[in-house]
Amino acid sequence: MSDVHVRKRGGFIEHTLEGLHAAMERALYAETVASRRGLLQQLDPRVKVAGLLSLVVAVALAAKLWLIGAILALAVTVACLSAIPLRVIAGRAWLGALLFSGMIATPAIFLTPGTPLYGLPITVQGLRTASFLVLRAVSAATLMLALVYTTPWNHVLKALRIFRVPVVFVVILGMTCRYILLLLETAHQMFESRKSRTVNAITPAEQRRLAVAGSGVLLGKTLQMSDEVYLAMRARGFRGEVFLLEDFHMRKLDWLALGTFALLAAFSIWAGR
């Protein structure tokens, strides 16, 4: 009986630690890919932000499925040429996009009035509507994954400020990313210390109590840390604007890529009407 409890204890704590490890590894993996030599890594961050976001706008405005599919194929090709493996694209962009958009699109297949498809309780119009939603979500997720995985996060934020994105929005994005990584590390340390101090078997009731208590402690640390970080930023001269030491410089390759993105976006918007 004790062996069963030991396995349960190990399952709860070990699985939690493995999940935290996996989350931190995914964040670090994005920084690793951004430092590789690939197609998008060679471009100025401003070009990538403007170009990929313009393609997202083209996807959102497109009224033809073949065009959205073509942009998706282009996004996958560019991502693969930028040293992003296809399994990463499928696991971290397509899976989430298909899951959430699929839950929203599935009822439309059955509820949208129109012509029945081969006698099935679905309509051609409903299937077309669902396909638009899913393809748009998958394409946009792929384009944004290509941007985030090939550009350091602070460079993305600086490029957004250059394009006059409100500073409040940029600061919230930057601080949220840093807080998530810091909270993952804190949670990992908490469970690691709990594991090192746990000797006896843990019952299911104790496992639930441990999870609730750990969540409360982590929330308290979050509130305390937010106050300390804000005061530290104010003491160092923070007044709402974010500055970086790196300066962006446009090269011939960047101008060529910017022109290519502009032509692709303009053609996609025109052809997708």
What are the pLDDT digits (tens) for 45-74?
A: 999 999 999 999 999 998 899 999 999 999
Q: Which two tokens stand for residue 185?
A: 């590390």
Which residues lie closer than 8 Å to 118 by C-beta, 6 or more apart? none
- pLDDT reported for residue 28: 66
Dist CA 156 CA 238 (whole Å): 20
Region of 164 (left: φ > 0; alpha: ψ -120 to 50; beta: rest) is left
Helix or strand run (H / E) with residue 57: helix 45-61
- pLDDT reported for residue 13: 55
Question: Phi then psi for 123, rounded to 5 degrees?
Answer: -115, 155
Enumerate the β-bridge partners of residue 116: 123
- pLDDT reported for residue 8: 42
Whether 124 contacts 12, CB under 8 Å: no
Nearest CA to 47 among 216, 257, 264? 257
Enumerate the β-bridge partners of residue 123: 116
* Domain regions of the chain by residue span: 1-35+166-235, 45-152+249-266
The neighbour count for residue 249, using CB atoms within 10 Å, is 7
pLDDT in tens, 102-126: 888 888 888 888 787 777 788 888 8
Sign of CA pseudo-dihedral 15, 19, 24, 25: positive
Highest mean pLDDT among 83-87, 112-116, 234-238: 83-87
Nearest CA to 139 among 270, 248, 268? 268
- pLDDT range class, residue 12, cuts 50, 70, 90: low
Q: Which two tokens stand for residue 80?
A: 């693969």
- pLDDT range class, residue 237, cuts 50, 70, 90: confident
Q: Is residue 6 predicted with pLDDT exceeding 50?
A: no
Amino acid at 37: R
Angle at 70 between CA 67 and CA 75, to 5 degrees: 130
What's this model's pTM, rounded to 2 decimal places?
A: 0.76
Highest mean pLDDT among 103-117, 130-144, 164-178: 130-144
